[in-house]
Structure 1
Amino acid sequence: MKATKATMLLAGIAASALAMSGCGSSGGGESDEPIPIGVLADLSGATGDVGSVFNEGMLAYVDNLNANGGINDRQLEAMSNDYAYEIPKAEELYRKYVNDESVAIQGWGTGDTEALRTRVANDELPFMSGSFAEELTDPEESPFNFVVAATYSDQARIGMNWISEDAGDKTAVAILHNDSPFGTAPVQDAKDWVKEKGLDIDVTSYAMPAGTTNYSGMLSQVDADGADYIMVQNVASPAAQLAKDLADSSGDQKIVCLNWCGNELFVTAAGEAAEGHMMVQPVAPLSADKPGHKEIVDYLEANGGDPKTTANSYVQGWYTMHAMAEGIRATLDGDNELTGANIREALETMGPINTGGVFGLGEIEFSADSHRGSNSAGMYTVEDGKMVEVEGGLTP
Structure 2
Amino acid sequence: MRVLAAASCAIAVALFSHPLLAQSKNYGPGVTDTEVKIGQTMPYSGPASSFAAIGRAMGAYFQKINAEGGVNGRKINLISIDDAYSPPKAVEQTRRLVESDEVLAIVGTFGSPSNFATQKYLNAKKVPALFLGTGANRVSDPATFPWSMGWQPNNHAKGAIYGKYLLKERPDAKIAILFQNDDFGRDYVRGVKDALGSKAASMIVKELSYELAEPTVDSQILVLKSSGANVFVNIATPKFTAQAIKKVAEIKWDVLHLISDASFSISSTLVPAGLENSKGVISVNFRKDPSDPVWKDDPGMKEYLAFMKQYMPDLNAQESLYAFGYATAQTFVHVLEKCGDNLTRENLMKQAASINNLVLPIMLPGIVLNTSPTRYTPMTQEQLVQFDGEKWVSVGDVIDAEK
Indicate how the Cα distance of structure 1 residues 260 and 123 shifts in structure 2: closer, same or farther if over 3 A, else same.
Answer: same
Counterparts of 1:91-130 in structure 2, within 5 Å, are 91-99=91-99, 100-106=101-107, 107-127=109-129, 128-130=131-133
- With the length of structure 2 as denominator, give the TM-score of the two structures: 0.84
1:132 is aligned to 135
User: Helix, strand or coil for the counterpart of 2:375?
Assistant: coil
- Give the unaligned 5+ runs of structure 2: 1-25
Q: 2:352 aligns with which of 332, 347, 350?
A: 347
| Per-residue deviation, residues 250-294 of structure 1 (Å, max 9, x unmatched) | 111221112111222222222211001101123332235254333
Larger Rg: 2
Measure how far apart 1:301 and its partner are. Answer: 2.0
Partners of 2:44 and 2:52 within 8 A in 1: yes
Partners of 2:246 and 2:277 within 8 A in 1: yes
2:399 is aligned to 394
User: Helix, strand or coil for the counterpart of 2:384?
Assistant: strand
The percent identity for this pair of structures is 22
Counterparts of 1:201-212 in structure 2, within 5 Å, are 201-202=203-204, 204-210=206-212, 212=214
1:225 is aligned to 227
Equivalenced residue count is: 368
Indicate how the Cα distance of structure 1 residues 304 and 145 shifts in structure 2: closer, same or farther if over 3 A, else same.
Answer: closer
Please give the alpha-carbon distance, in whole angstroms, between the structure 1 residues aligned to 2:265 and 2:396: 16
| Per-residue deviation, residues 137-176 of structure 1 (Å, max 9, x unmatched) | 221112112222211111111112222333242x222222
Let me know the Cα RMSD of the aligned residues: 2.5
- With the length of structure 1 as denominator, give the TM-score of the two structures: 0.85
User: Helix, strand or coil for the counterpart of 1:150?
Assistant: coil
Residues 1:81 and 2:89 are matched in the alignment: no
2:301 is aligned to 293
Q: Once structures 1 and 2 are overlaid, which stretch shifts more, 222-231 or 193-202?
A: 193-202
Please give the alpha-carbon distance, in whole angstroms, between the structure 2 residues aligned to 1:358 and 1:75: 25
Partners of 1:356 and 1:362 within 8 A in 2: no
Q: Once structures 1 and 2 are overlaid, which stretch shifts more, 181-190 or 219-228?
A: 181-190
Indicate how the Cα distance of structure 1 residues 79 and 218 shifts in structure 2: closer, same or farther if over 3 A, else same.
Answer: same
Please give the alpha-carbon distance, in whole angstroms, between the structure 2 residues aligned to 1:142 and 1:97: 20
1:5 is aligned to none
Q: Once structures 1 and 2 are overlaid, which stretch shifts more, 318-327 or 353-362?
A: 353-362
Please give the alpha-carbon distance, in whole angstroms, between the structure 1 residues aligned to 2:139 and 2:155: 11
Please give the alpha-carbon distance, in whole angstroms, between the structure 1 residues aligned to 2:357 and 2:371: 8
Counterparts of 1:275-354 in structure 2, within 5 Å, are 275-288=279-292, 289=295, 291-303=299-311, 305=313, 310-332=318-340, 335-336=341-342, 338-354=343-359
2:366 is aligned to 361
Specify which structure has the bigger relative contact order, considering alpha-carbon pairs within 8 angstroms and separated by 6 or more residues: 1
Please give the alpha-carbon distance, in whole angstroms, between the structure 2 residues aligned to 1:136 and 1:203: 31
Q: Once structures 1 and 2 are overlaid, which stretch shifts more, 283-292 or 249-258?
A: 283-292
Q: Which amino acid aligns with 1:38?
A: G
- Give the unaligned 5+ runs of structure 1: 1-19
Please give the alpha-carbon distance, in whole angstroms, between the structure 1 residues aligned to 2:187 and 2:366: 23
Partners of 1:361 and 1:377 within 8 A in 2: no
The runs of at least 4 aligned residues of structure 1 exceeding 6 Å deviation read none
Q: Which amino acid aligns with 1:132?
A: G
Please give the alpha-carbon distance, in whole angstroms, between the structure 1 residues aligned to 2:112 and 2:57: 19
Please give the alpha-carbon distance, in whole angstroms, between the structure 2 residues aligned to 1:121 and 1:377: 29
Q: Which amino acid aligns with 2:31?
A: S
Q: Which amino acid aligns with 1:41?
A: M
Q: Once structures 1 and 2 are overlaid, which stretch shifts more, 227-236 or 348-357?
A: 348-357
User: Helix, strand or coil for the counterpart of 1:255?
Assistant: strand
Please give the alpha-carbon distance, in whole angstroms, between the structure 2 residues aligned to 1:183 and 1:25: 38
1:184 is aligned to 186
Q: Which amino acid aligns with 1:112?
A: S
1:375 is aligned to 380
Q: Which amino acid aligns with 1:390?
A: V
